[in-house]
Amino acid sequence: MPRLSALVLLLSTPTTHALAAAKRRKPSKPKTSEPDYIDIQDGDVAWQCESVVETLKSGGVGVIPTDTGYAFCARVNEKDAVRRLLDIKGADSGKKPLALLCRDLAAIDQYTRYQSRTIFKVLKKALPGPYTFVLPASEHLPRVLLKNGKRQWKRNTVGVRVPADAVCAAILEALDGEPLFCSSVPVSEDGDQLVCHGPLDEDGSWCSLVDFVVDAGPRPIEGSTIYDLAADDGPVLVRERLGPPIPELDLVVA
């Protein structure tokens, strides 16, 4: 009888392999509960972002600050999380609603293709800063971004950013330089991005669709200046916002 009890106990106890598999398993449905709020105070930013980094590594979706406002974000190689981002933004057209938040030029170089030395000099001078540069995407960019549902985007391009924001930089550093896909959080009528609202929830709120919100205080809400450096006719100033014009670029103004 003792042997039978031991056998029952053995069969009912999860094995190390099963526990490991459970940890790797990612939720297939969007989150439906309230997000965790992380209030970042002055001081050492890195340790205050530890839970955020762990959630992102586990396939989470959240809101973090940048130098041009708050942004939804997810790890670049987490396909389920990226799909959640697309759902939050209501991305049902052929437009590209996501950009890459990068730690440095090395990350940009991995996920894009550019051969012009002039462009490299421009990126080096302007970043970190309030700019989004649209560049040809490399083969390392996951296909989930190159397709929107069943629609193939006409050009395989992606916007890249290196924000001049200490909190954002600390998160990217803790991810060992892996970029985050991102998209701007909508601004409320009173100019607050952290007042939840969005396209999916019945009450118009995106709060239940994200896993965490990092509140690091007020951020500019004007958005980044956007340059298309992949246009056939040369660089195009798509939108002028926080970043001043870059005179080194021979521009075609959109």
DSSP β-ladder status, 62-66 and 212-215: parallel
pLDDT > 70 in the chain, percent: 74
**Structural domain contains residue 5:** no
- pLDDT score, position 228: 95
Q: How many domains, the chain? A: 1
**Structural domain contains residue 152:** yes
Q: Cα separation of 5 and 39, whole Å? A: 50
Residue 232's identity, in one-letter code, is D
- Residue 139: which CATH number? 3.90.870.10
pLDDT per residue over 45-57, tens digit each? 888 899 999 999 9
Q: Cα separation of 194 and 52, whole Å? A: 17
Helix or strand holding residue 79 (H, E)? helix 79-88
Predicted TM-score (pTM) of this structure: 0.80
Q: Cα separation of 179 and 131, whole Å? A: 16
Which residue reads 């509960």 in tokens? 33
pLDDT per residue over 132-159, tens digit each? 999 999 999 887 665 555 555 545 899 9
**Structural domain contains residue 12:** no
In this structure, what is the dihedral angle of CA atoms 207, 70, 165, 142, given to the nearest 10 degrees?
Answer: 80
**Structural domain contains residue 163:** yes
pLDDT per residue over 165-186, tens digit each? 999 999 999 999 899 999 999 8
**Structural domain contains residue 22:** no
pLDDT > 90 in the chain, percent: 53
250-to-30, 122, 126, 131, 161 alpha-carbon distances in Å? 44, 11, 15, 17, 21
**Structural domain contains residue 41:** yes
Helix or strand holding residue 132 (H, E)? strand 131-136
User: Could you list the residue range(s) of the whole structural domain that residue 228 is in?
Assistant: 28-253
**Structural domain contains residue 170:** yes
